[in-house]
Amino acid sequence: NAGVTQTPKFQVLKTGQSMTLQCAQDMNHEYMSWYRQDPGMGLRLIHYSVGAGITDQGEVPNGYNVSRSTTEDFPLRLLSAAPSQTSVYFCASSYGRTSYEQYFGPGTRLTVT
Amino acid sequence: GENVEQHPSTLSVQEGDSAVIKCTYSDSASNYFPWYKQELGKRPQLIIDIRSNVGEKKDQRIAVTLNKTAKHFSLHITETQPEDSAVYFCAASTDSWGKLQFGAGTQVVVTP
């Protein structure tokens, strides 16, 4: 199993550009989440999904969209990039039910100039 | 919503000594408390977790204690080694599977 994969690893955008961060998992996990990590602030939840076709907002959803058309994939879309979105983005998945552990992807480092 | 505070923000210990990191949470409905270790440039990885029906859990050199009444939980690392140097995050959740609310992190430095 590859676990949780994310692409790209690094990305530089100009203000106003849009892009999609990709996340995929091959563990048949129902639950997937997107976090952003900023220095001194821990990880903050952007959006999450409890299954295909079901998504909801987390703590910091503004400026981001998600969709979950399959169990495996959970892309994060930046609609119009802003410098405040410069961060490291982590995707995570978990089986749920009796197994609570969240598995994180390797992260995407995004810089918006 | 849930708020998690973590202390200290940095912790320097001599190799072989113990390290203790403390977290408090605000939502009494929280029932799942994981701890993650993140090495520089790497992804967070779960090192230990505890559920609200348990007061203490131990795994080799690491242990976690939970005080539901006071709404705080702690990570204890004994016999620290240089490879324990990393950032440690506590988290709390009311949903068990996810929607984790993270603390701000503790940078642990173990000096030989």
Task: Render each residue's pLDDT in chain B as its tens digit; 112 residues.
Answer: 889 999 999 999 999 999 999 999 999 999 999 999 999 999 999 999 998 888 999 999 999 999 999 999 999 999 999 999 999 999 999 875 668 999 999 999 999 9
Separation between Cα atoms, residue A27 and residue B41, nearest integer Å = 24
* Tokens 């009796």, located at residue: A98
pLDDT computed for residue A76 by the predictor: 98
Q: Using the beta-carbon criterion (under 8 Å), do B89 and A45 form an inter-chain contact?
A: no
Rounded mean pLDDT of chain A?
94
Q: Using the beta-carbon criterion (under 8 Å), do B89 and A42 form an inter-chain contact?
A: yes
How far from the centroid of its chain's Cα atoms is residue B98's Cα?
Answer: 16
Separation between Cα atoms, residue B19 and residue B80, nearest integer Å = 7
Q: Using the beta-carbon criterion (under 8 Å), do B43 and A105 form an inter-chain contact?
A: yes
Distance in Å, alpha carbon of B10 to nearest chain A alpha carbon: 11
Q: Is the pLDDT of residue A110 over 80?
A: yes
Residue from B33, B36, B52, B97 whose CB has the most chain A CBs within 10 Å, to mutate = B97
Q: In terms of Cα–Cα distance, which of A30, A10, A7, A1 is closest to A88?
A: A10
pLDDT, average across residues A8-25: 98
- Please answer whether residues A110 and A21 qualify as being in contact, where contact means their C-beta atoms are separated by less than 8 angstroms: yes
Per DSSP, A63 falls in state T
Separation between Cα atoms, residue A54 and residue A31, nearest integer Å = 10
pLDDT band with cut points at 50, 70 and 90 for residue A39: confident
Most distant CA pair in chain B, distance:
41
User: Judging by beta carbons within 10 Å of its beta carbon (0-12, 13-18, 19+), is residue B10 exposed, middle or buried?
Assistant: exposed
- What is the length of chain B? 112
pLDDT band with cut points at 50, 70 and 90 for residue A95: confident
H or E segment to which residue B70 belongs: none
Please check whether residue A104 touches B, CB under 8 A.
Answer: yes
